[in-house]
């Protein structure tokens, strides 16, 4: 009798499974809600990564402009100005989708120049501005005369009341990169 009961139970279970295929509406709603929560968490992080990728263009270009200025100074004892931007020999465009690159200062007998990455859409820009500075100066501790450089990034994007990137170094750099960036206002040192 026990085997008959087992057989009937198994037969009942097999028949029940054939009719229970698929998901209930509640199960589908729970899955959709979980996917929505995960998307809401991931989207801001994804958007922030996209801005970081755009900003890396400016960091790279302004850093290259700083090094180009230093090399140009070694050869000619002056920094490049905006009119001679191509003399840096970097092969970069002065305008991209994200930034406009400019040089403030420089020129004949110059001892300081500012390399600027200004966000292309200033009022609505979600990327931060960057300003690089190069000048003649003295290395702290050794007293060695050389060219100094600094790379500063805006604390906020222009859409969040951050700087537009048009700031310039008016005097020679001190070699204290944090203090040099602080002179510009809403900037921090990123070297």
Q: Answer for the pair 161, 129: CB distance below 8 angstroms, yes or no.
A: no
The whole-model pTM stands at 0.76
Q: What is the pLDDT of residue 10?
A: 74
Q: What is the pLDDT of residue 51?
A: 84
d(C-alpha 92, C-alpha 62), whole Å: 10
Q: Which residue is listed with tokens 């966000």?
A: 119
Q: Which residue is listed with tokens 């960057």?
A: 130
Q: Answer for the pair 158, 99: CB distance below 8 angstroms, yes or no.
A: no
**Residue 107, beta-bridge partner list:** 79
* Residuewise pLDDT in 10s, the chain (191 residues): 577 777 777 777 677 555 556 788 999 999 999 999 998 888 877 777 888 888 999 999 999 999 999 999 999 999 999 999 999 999 989 999 999 999 999 999 899 999 999 999 877 788 999 999 999 988 878 888 889 999 999 999 998 899 999 999 988 898 889 999 999 989 999 86
Q: What is the pLDDT of residue 100?
A: 95
């Amino acid at each position: 009798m026990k085997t008959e009961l087992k057989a009937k139970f198994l037969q009942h279970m097999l028949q029940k499974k054939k009719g229970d295929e698929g998901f209930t509406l509640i199960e589908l709603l729970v899955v959709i809600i979980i996917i929505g929560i995960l998307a809401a968490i991931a989207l801001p992080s994804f958007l922030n990564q996209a801005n970081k990728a755009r900003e890396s263009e400016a960091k790279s270009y302004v850093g290259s402009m700083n090094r180009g200025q230093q090399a140009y100074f070694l050869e000619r004892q002056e920094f490049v100005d905006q009119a001679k931007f191509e003399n840096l020999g970097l092969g970069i465009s002065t305008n991209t989708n994200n930034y406009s690159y400019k040089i403030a200062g420089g020129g004949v007998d110059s001892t300081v120049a500012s390399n600027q990455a200004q966000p292309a859409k200033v009022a609505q820009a979600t990327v931060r501005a960057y300003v690089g500075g190069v000048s003649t100066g003295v290395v702290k501790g050794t007293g060695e005369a050389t060219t100094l450089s600094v790379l500063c990034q805006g604390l906020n994007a222009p859409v969040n009341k951050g700087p537009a990137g048009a700031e310039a170094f008016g005097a020679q750099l001190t070699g204290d990169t944090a203090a040099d960036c602080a002179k510009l206002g809403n900037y921090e040192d990123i070297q």
